[in-house]
Structure formats: C-alpha cells, structure tokens
Amino acid sequence: MTATTTASPVSFVAHVARLPKNGMPVTIEADEAQRAELAADHGLESVESYRADLVVAPWKSGGVRVSGRVEARITQACVVTLEPLDAVISEEVSGLFVPEDSRLAAPPFQAGGEMVLDAEGPDGPEPFAGDSIDVGALAEQFFALAIDPYPRKAGAEVPQEGVGEEAGDRGQLFEKLRSLKPRS
C-alpha cells in the first residue's frame, strides 16, 4: 500500500508473511467511535453501520490478493434541500499487492517504452514493504468510492430563479450576487 499521512479509522493490519493457501478471513465491524470518524472524514451526516468481510490470500510469487465486500448504511445531506438522505453501500473490494522488490511491481511496457493502461481493465498490483498490509484502509477506499458525491432526494429540484431570463434581467441577478460579497 502506498504510504498515507493519517491512519484509517477502520485500520486492520494483516500480516501476510505466512498466509494459509485458502486465505485468511478478516471481518471488520466499526464501533460507534470509528463510525463517527468515518462520517467526519467523508463528509457524511452519520454512518449507522460499517462492515467489511475480506479474504487475504497468497497470489503468485510473494504477492497477496485481498477480496471481499464492504457494506454500510449512511446518512448524507441532500445537495438540494440539505435534508437527511439514507443510503446503503454494498461494494466489492479487490486489491493485489506485491513486495516492493518484485518484478511484478514494475509497470508493463510495450516495445518502444510505451506504457499501456486500460481504464476499464483491472488495477495492477500495488507494492508493499515489510510483511503486512492495512486491509482496513483498502476497504475504506472502496467505501469512499461508493459514496454518492451529489445525493438528491427523490423529487428535489434546484430552483430555476434567474435562469433563461432576458439579458436585461441578468444585470439584476449579478447585482444580487454583488450584494452578497463582503465589503472590504
């Protein structure tokens, strides 16, 4: 995993030096304090529940595959009305990790030195150092990606005041905006 400046509220460090062939199951269930921190970190009203069920398994030569699902119930503010809006997150978690000195960590290059990336393809493996990976932080990344950045209650609409008015009326709209600007 790449280094981060702050630890995840749902951090779970899995030691991967000796993994069972069929993998090691990991379950992360956030307590009240962790859920409050998740809500604050991701701009949510609240996180009512958070659970990650993962399997950490060996992959290729010294690599690690993390797979599973993160599920949560959250409350966000509607971007139109600012009223609370409940949402359910059920997101698949998937990640590949290789030791930082592994040849599998090198990006694939074609002849001529061009790197080929497929936006729809799977992510390449991430390098890690030592003998552990924070699988809780990985699950939180997938949780964050599943949050709707613009939640809107059903039927909520943005007021259309000033939209489509004649050019002469636009001056009044800009005058209203100028009046909102603080005086220096």
What is the identity of the amino acid at 53? D
- Which range, 56-65, 83-92, 146-155, is most confident? 83-92
Rounded to whole angstroms, the Cα distance separating 62 from 130 reads 12
What is the predicted pLDDT for the residue at 165? 52
Q: Using an 8 Å Cβ cutoff, are 84 and 45 in contact?
A: yes
Rounded to whole angstroms, the Cα distance separating 42 from 102 reads 34
Q: Is the model's pTM score more than 0.85? A: no
Q: Please check the confidence at residue 31 and state whether its pLDDT lies above 90.
A: yes
Q: Output 168 or 43, whichever has higher pLDDT.
A: 43
Rounded to whole angstroms, the Cα distance separating 116 from 13 reads 32
Instruction: Tell me the average pLDDT across 32-40.
Output: 97
- What is the tens place of the pLDDT at every residue in 159-169? 776 555 555 56
Pairing of strands 84-99, 126-128: parallel
Q: Using an 8 Å Cβ cutoff, are 89 and 69 in contact?
A: no
Q: Please check the confidence at residue 64 and state whether its pLDDT lies above 90.
A: yes
Rounded to whole angstroms, the Cα distance separating 181 from 177 reads 7
Phi first, then psi, for residue 25 (nearest 5°) are -75, 140
Spans of all domains in the chain: 13-110+121-157
Q: Chain-wide mean pLDDT for the chain?
A: 84
What is the predicted pLDDT for the residue at 130? 86
